[in-house]
């Protein structure tokens, strides 16, 4: 019997520490705090992950660590261009998270599961630069297409 400890079989989530590539990055405002945040769409193999790095407010401490792991200098001051993050590869620790939603068909409250960044792992609140391979992690052998490669 083959098993893969990195995937939750019922949900197909990629869990644990894996190398992810930023495929989209944009600055948006948080609906809850009104603060700016960098919204990232990442991909690892066939798996996708959405995360954000807060650019101010209460989440700034975690957001700053994530930005450093993505290659921004700790002494950076100036205009942030989200495009600079596209194609950046970073180690991310993920865990399974349960969330609630309202079923649009019948209005019932339901729950689902998703992969979420484990901010209590790795060196930078769930992130770690590609060059700093975490203990036990394995660099994927396949060549990834760059973000600007034609598909």
pLDDT value at residue 6: 63
Mean pLDDT of the 54-66 span:
96
- Which is higher by pLDDT, 104 or 64? 64
Does the pLDDT at position 9 exceed 90? Answer: no
**Three-state secondary structure call for residue 84:** helix
Query: What is the reported pTM?
Result: 0.82
pLDDT value at residue 77: 94
The C-alpha R_g of the chain, in whole angstroms, comes to 16
The percent of residues above 90 in pLDDT, for the chain, comes to 70
Does the pLDDT at position 151 exceed 50? Answer: no
């Amino acid at each position: 019997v083959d098993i893969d400890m990195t995937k939750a079989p019922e949900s197909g989530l990629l869990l644990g520490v894996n190398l992810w590539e930023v495929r989209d990055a944009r600055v948006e405002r948080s609906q809850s705090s009104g603060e700016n945040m960098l919204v990232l769409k990442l991909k690892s193999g066939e798996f996708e992950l959405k995360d954000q790095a807060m650019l101010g407010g209460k989440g700034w401490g975690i957001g700053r660590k994530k930005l450093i792991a993505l290659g921004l200098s700790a002494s950076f001051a100036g205009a942030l261009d989200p495009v600079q993050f596209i194609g950046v590869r970073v180690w991310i620790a993920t865990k399974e998270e349960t969330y609630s939603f309202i079923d649009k068909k019948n209005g019932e409250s339901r729950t689902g599961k998703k992969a979420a960044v484990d901010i209590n792992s790795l060196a930078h609140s769930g992130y770690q630069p590609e060059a700093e391979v975490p203990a036990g992690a394995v660099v994927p052998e396949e060549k990834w297409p760059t973000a600007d490669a034609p598909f």
